[in-house]
Amino acid sequence: MPTLAPSGPRTGSSAVPRPSSGGPGATGSRRLPFRPDIEGLRAFAVLSVLAFHASVPGLAGGFIGVDVFFVISGYLITGLLVREAVTTGRIRLGEFFSRRARRLLPSAAAVLVAVAVAGAWLTVPLRRTDLENDVVAAALSVANWRFVQQQTDYLAAGQGESPLLHFWSLAVEEQFYLCWAPLLAALALLTARAARRGRALRPVAVAVTAALTLTTFALSLHWTGDSVSLAYLGTPSRVWQFGAGALLAQLPWHLLRGPRALRLVCGWAGAAALVWCVLRYDSGTPYPGYAALVPTLATAAVILAGIPGRHPDGPARYGVGRLLGLRGPRAVGRLSYTLYLWHWPVLVLAEARFGTLEWPARTALTLASVLPALATMHWVERPLRHSRTLSELPRRGLSLGVAAVVIPVVLALVVGTTTLQLLGPSAPVDVKGLPPGAATGPSLLTRTGTPPKDGPVVPSPVQARKSFPPDGACEVAPAVTSSPPCLFGAVDSPDRIVLLGDSHAGQWFSPVLSLAAKRGWALQELVKQGCPLPELSVVNPQLGRTYHECDTWRADSLARLAKGPKPRMIVISSLNRYTEDQRLLLKGWERTLKPLRALGVPIVHIEDTPVPGTDIPACVSGHLTDPETCAFDRDTARWPDPLAEKVAAGGLPGVRNVQVNSVLCPTTGPTCPAVLDRILLYRDDAHLTDVAAVVLAPRLERLLMSTGAPAAHGWTELLREDFDGPAGSRPAASRWLYDRGTCYPGCPAPQWGTGEIETMTDSTDNVRLDGKGALEIVPTRRGGKWYSGRIESRRSDFAPPPGGVLRIEASIALPEVTGAKAGGYWPAFWTLGAGLRDGYTGWPAIGEIDVMESVNGRDAVFGTLHCGTADGGPCKEPMGLTSPRQKCSGCRGAFHTYAVELDTAPGAEELRWYLDGRVYHRVKASAMDAATWDRALKRGQFLILNVAMGGGLPSADGATAGPATEAGHPMRVARVTVSAREAAGP
């Protein structure tokens, strides 16, 4: 989010230089003595601001130019109005606003029109819509409140600087005089019948001015401590600076006696104080607050030193007014208004086109802005200001002012509306219609659908800006010190997940809510904007000071968790760049985690996601056909994570670490993508879109559940294999072993007992990871002989708990081959009883569960139970208790879920087969004697994945491997899980 000085080195503590709107010689008022020193003082103010905006080294306090101009304006305009009231008994508001309109609005309108047109060419579409909104706000003199809203809104962070940010002070001044001039006019009317109007009006006006000045100064101090943006940009907090100038104009300083040396010292001291502010103030100065007193009073001192005395004889020879009144400063002062109007748009639009520029280039651009400033002064400002036709009647000047407002507004609305139409839909994305996200592997989307290579990104850039987690007010604002209850999902459930952290934790709201909902749990969200979860002291840019509210909120949240119901899991996350000191960050984490670990519940830390550091939706809006252009540097986007490193080293028992960055920012290049599989990942410069979070939900659920946290409805995972790893590598040797050859050791059953014709190998030609999160088992043919792969789980103790349920599941894509080319293909996912490994004998009594089998590339799969004796028996061997064939035309090439559940609940024992969650086959324990059932299914199982070639089953189906059979089509396995659930309570 762009911040105004002093919060940032470039983004606009922009003082609007404003010569007197009425000026000497206004109708109905006595001519004011010309003050060349004030014209030179304007030059100092505008040059300070320009140097600050150009980032000239050593001049970081140039933002105090705004204070100088506000004091000058208060002095000149109030003096003009009071003199008119004293002289004529009234203030003609029509004349006053007509003069201001002729003097100020046409030049401003020229800049606004130029910016609206140039912005359509130089800025990307999404920034263009923001810019056109800025044009409207600037033309209507409410730009400061638009920027207050943006600066104080944490969720609007990450958007680029506005070329019209400097119009905030123009808006402040217009709003002030819209109230101030009528107020003085009312006071003039109240005192008009007095015998001596001057003596009657001045004391009343001084009293009102003094009261207003003191009140608004107190308000400024309060806002500086509470909201720096509101204090800096808000009209009420700036009124006291106009008031300081107004008091100078109303009090009889010219009657003061005293040596001339005192005036000289006053003037030079004020000038020295202004220079000191420019040199010493910087982004760390709390502003405006007390710090603004120095430039405000210093400006008053310079003006006061130049006020003529009883016997004016021109400026003092050695006074500061003599220096300010030289031809050079006066020439710059005359140009100050239009120079100010032009310099900031030139800088910002140039950077929008060419990227960030260093101070020499910014200085050159600032100097170049003199040309349009001169043109505007000579061809717009002066002709209209001095036009007799326009000045004859106030309504003509006012009509000119209305036209100067309407023209840029209409132009901005036309350009903005046209741009929005080009950007695509703005209505929220229906997350229910999103493509499914992958639970494993490097791809964002599952392979059940082909990731779109063309078409619009989702969400559109306009939608992305508004793609926030749907958690209402539960991501609490900076000023809030305690989260509301914020329970979601099954709010009455005694079980809950807690999501805890800052907005980088809040971005995971949708996935964590989905996980909780599937389990019938509640989700409690404790999230605060910009508040580090590790115990660190930071400065909040919205508040402009130390973030005490964060410390209070953190302590309150930890206390609530200690007192409240014990959660099932705590999910934590936080931005990883509140400090560059890794040791300090780790100590902060340890202090926060100490009370959390004492709760004795699983704590899962989600590593911080990449931080692009640039407005991603804006960039993508300008590269809809080539969003890869918006990729950003990996090294700057991903910082070291000391907490993840300590967790990985086992230094924080009870805390687990998960990450999705291997998908969001793959290691195969120096950059991280802004768009993956046409999903726009970021809503600003740091946070994921809610759309991206929803697509990542299956992956995050898998990661959270694989950390040892409780599974759905009491399920506990005994095995989870996602086959992540480099392409061409082997499956994890710690979990899988190879079967090789054509039979088990000792060859109790040649050709694996089924008549298969392949030789099983441990070669990566036959068994390998694909690098995309899947295992490939590939039949190959060399020299007329077939080779393939068969792996088994090392564990052979998978069994249901007494009275409970065992679930075995895999996500498998069958070989993408059919017809004659598929003759003899026999892919399978199955189990064998643990007893087989004791000599590899005892089949089928030890039990075999064929979770999934398919032969000859048919559009069908089936499941089988083998048990009992080798010929006949309760399982009708050798065919077994086989299901009807299940039609599944999409099972080739696309992943589907195959599962069996062994339910041992008393009186309801059965074995169930599932295809994509649908039960299609059952075998009940009552179908055989208890001893056969128990030996086949309750003494432990191990898992097998293989692709056989030929054998009895393909032959029985009418085909076998022959010359037409095409080698090289793999069975792919994306996931294998084994879970158990305890018996239900009484």
Q: Are 501 and 533 in contact (CB under 8 A)?
A: yes
Q: How many CB atoms lie within 10 A of CB 452?
A: 14
Tokens of 294: 């120095």
pLDDT score, position 16? 35
Q: What is the DSSP letter of 254?
A: G
How many helical (H) and strand (E) elements, i.e. helices and strands, does the chain have? Answer: 31, 32
Question: What value, to the nearest 5°, has the Cα angle with vertex 68 and ends 234 and 103?
Answer: 80
Alpha carbons 278 and 280: distance in angstroms, whole number:
6
Residue segments in the chain with a per-residue pLDDT below the cut of 50: 1-30, 195, 310-315, 448-451, 711-713
CA–CA gap between residue 527 and residue 31 (Å, rounded): 62
Measured CA to CA, the distance from residue 376 to residue 397 in angstroms comes to: 18
Contact (CB, 8 A) for 674 and 686: no
Task: State the pLDDT at residue 562.
Answer: 92
Q: Residue 907's CB: how many other CB atoms inside 10 A?
A: 6
State the burial class of residue 19 (Cβ atoms within 10 Å of its Cβ: 0-12, 13-18, 19+): buried
Buried b vs exposed e over 740-751: b needs ≥16 C-beta within 10 Å?
eeebbeeeeeeb
Buried b (16+ CB within 10 A) or exposed e, 154-178: bbebbbbbbbbbbbbbbbbbbbbbe
Q: Which of 516, 507, 635, 497 is nearest to 573 (CA)?
A: 507
According to DSSP, the residues that pair with 924 across neighbouring strands are 910
Q: What is the pLDDT of residue 844?
A: 95
554 in helix, strand or coil?
Answer: helix
Please give the pLDDT value at position 315.
Answer: 47
Q: Which helix (H) or strand (E) holds 830?
A: strand 825-833
Q: What is the pTM of this model?
A: 0.69
Q: Say whether 131 sits in a helix, a strand or coil.
A: helix
Residue 546 parent element (H or E):
strand 545-546
Cα angle: 491, vertex 494, 498; to 5 degrees: 70
- Closest among 546, 534, 570, 569 to 712, alpha carbons compared: 569
Per residue in 748-790, pLDDT (tens digit) is 899 999 999 999 999 999 999 998 889 999 999 999 999 999 9
Other beta carbons within 10 angstroms of residue 139's beta carbon come to 26
Cβ-contact 773, 438 below 8 angstroms: yes
Alpha helices in 424-542 (DSSP H): 461-465, 503-506, 509-518
CA–CA dist 650, 502 (Å, integer): 25
Q: Which amino acid is at 616?
A: I
Written as one letter, the residue type at 328 is G
Tokens 């706000």 identify what position? 137
Return the H-helix or E-strand segment holding 525. strand 522-528
Q: Are 970 and 809 in contact (CB under 8 A)?
A: no
Terminal Cα distance for the chain, rounded: 57
* Contact of 901 with 805, CB cutoff 8 Å: yes
Tokens of 833: 């009883």
3-state helix, strand, coil in the chain (%, to 5): 45, 15, 40
Give 391's contacts (C-beta < 8 A, 6+ positions apart): 98, 99, 102, 397
Helical axes 143-152 vs 125-139, angle rounded to 10° = 130
Rounded Cα gap, residues 593 and 647, in angstroms: 12
Beta bridge partners of 769: 775
Tell me the HSE value of 583 on the side-chain side, using a 13 A CA sphere. Answer: 0
Positive or negative: CA dihedral 354, 360, 363, 364: negative
Identify the residue whose tokens are 């309801």: 908
Two tokens at 409? 């507004």
The DSSP code sequence of 409-452 is HHHHHHHHHHHHHHH---SPP-GGGSPPBPSSSS-SB-TTSPPP
Contact 461, 620 (CB under 8 A): yes
10 Å Cβ neighbour count for 851? 23
| Tokens 């609940």 -> residue | 905
d(CA 961, CA 499): 55
Give the other-Cβ count within 10 Å of 210's Cβ: 15
